[in-house]
Structure 1
């Protein structure tokens, strides 16, 4: 039995990464003392935004995926590109009001995050500077949470520099971990992203351990800083 287009579209949105990111941001909002409705708004905004990035990523990598990852819905033509473009357009039209509903400053921070992530994926994904869009985009998350509110009314309290810096480092760690499963395909495609360069030098197992330890330490630092210094 062929897979329904809706499920193929869901798979192309990178649902695990979208759910994980939305859950993490919603949890952070809850820990920061935000009301339940604001926590739900944060989760919805991030879930739609991550779906935008997932679809954009599969559209950008469609030709490469045909050679190296033919199991993807777009790569093996089970999913029509026009369907993905339509879903992507609808999601963009939805994420803009969702982001602004968090407050103008918070919305601008999140939309800037999406632009940096999408542009970086299109332009820097296969280069040694692939870490830049990840670090820059993650550095917007504290501002998104700090300025966030409800019904377009946010706050004016900026995030602490410590949280912004740690968020950027978290972006680096996540970049390394997310890239690891696809390094073989990236190497076959002739790419030279930072994770691939590091893996070729120290080996994939060592990179996995180093990236895992680094990311865990950054998360611990974020938790400690959150309790001692705070988000804002």
Structure 2
């Protein structure tokens, strides 16, 4: 028969070295001992207890196909890459529309193709700068209101990256502006500075429209004084054209402000579009702003056709 103590030692040693097997469909984990009996215990064999495990838990996990995972990760990486986030934070629609409008005005005034291209590029880069600066100034406020489409507010885009891109854009817009002439370039750079200040001052009160009017009102000078080369000097703009562009800036301000009336009202802002929106309603204000802006655009086209941009 042997010694009982030796049998106990051998039994414990066998339990530790045997692999766990599944018994039928009940999913009980067992290990065979030296005398053919079945003892139940945990996987490490330190203590022997009765355990019933789900048969699915003993089965190896089925991993999803690696190809969909790679595609999903690729989409996520593309959406969260810095160039895409910078483009989203630049207010691209406004930048493109403004650049196309001013470029078209330059073409209508008879400027050569290369000058029209420079005008378009200058205004496009300037509008991108304004968009980045606006989102940088408002990032904490946008985060508080959970404004969608703001990568700086939801921390997908690092502010340092946006500031670096903005600095590079400023270094680009200066020579682009001067390419149209020192006087014309200075007029546009002044317009850009006014726009940047408008992101910080006067935006909450009654005179929020003033930076927009001044910024857009300087664009006719950029066009009328402009030409090819830094030494070029054109003619001063017509007063009527300057006034119409300033009126256009007010219309653009109203259209832009419409989408933020609710959070602005929550923050206690009192600027003109908000006051009119509270009295008229957002829908009526949208219609009036759209009609006003369209009429001003038609007047600009009419004035440019019959009198031109410059005196």
TM-score (norm 2): 0.73
Partners of 1:59 and 1:190 in 2: CA distance = 21
Partners of 2:227 and 2:221 in 1: CA distance = 12
Q: Does 1:61 align with 2:138?
A: yes
Residue equivalent to 1:25: 102
Partners of 2:82 and 2:283 in 1: CA distance = 37
Partners of 1:124 and 1:106 in 2: CA distance = 26
Match of 2:220 among 142, 153, 173: 142
Partners of 1:69 and 1:106 in 2: CA distance = 40
Larger Rg: 2
Contact 2:179 2:230 survives alignment (8 Å): yes
3-state SS of 2:200 partner: helix
Partners of 1:152 and 1:168 in 2: CA distance = 26
1:40-119, aligned counterparts within 5 Å?
40-71=117-148, 72-119=150-197
Contact 2:226 2:234 survives alignment (8 Å): no
Residues 6-15 or 185-194, more deviating: 185-194
Match of 1:10 among 87, 90, 96: 87
- Could you list the per-position Cα deviations for residues 113-169 of structure 1 after superposition, in whole angstroms to 9, with x for gaps in the alignment? 011011011112221210000001110010000011112133331110000011111
Partners of 1:144 and 1:173 in 2: CA distance = 20
Structure having greater relative contact order (Cα 8 Å, sep ≥ 6): 1
Partners of 1:44 and 1:204 in 2: CA distance = 34
Partners of 2:126 and 2:215 in 1: CA distance = 12
Match of 1:162 among 240, 246, 259: 240
Unmatched runs of 5 consecutive residues or more in structure 2: 1-75
3-state SS of 1:217 partner: helix
Unmatched runs of 5 consecutive residues or more in structure 1: none
RMSD value, Cα: 1.1
Partners of 2:281 and 2:119 in 1: CA distance = 38
Residue equivalent to 2:292: 214
Contact 1:12 1:54 survives alignment (8 Å): yes
In proportion to residue count, which structure has more helix?
1
- Could you list the per-position Cα deviations for residues 60-114 of structure 1 after superposition, in whole angstroms to 9, with x for gaps in the alignment? 1111101113431000110000000000111111111111111011101000001
Partners of 2:267 and 2:299 in 1: CA distance = 36
Partners of 2:115 and 2:296 in 1: CA distance = 26
- Could you list the per-position Cα deviations for residues 29-80 of structure 1 after superposition, in whole angstroms to 9, with x for gaps in the alignment? 1111100000000011111111110111001111110111343100011000
Partners of 1:172 and 1:219 in 2: CA distance = 12
3-state SS of 2:199 partner: helix
Partners of 2:178 and 2:115 in 1: CA distance = 12
Structure 1 residue 230, shift from structure 2 partner: 1.2
3-state SS of 1:22 partner: helix
3-state SS of 2:204 partner: coil
Residue equivalent to 1:183: 261
3-state SS of 1:231 partner: coil
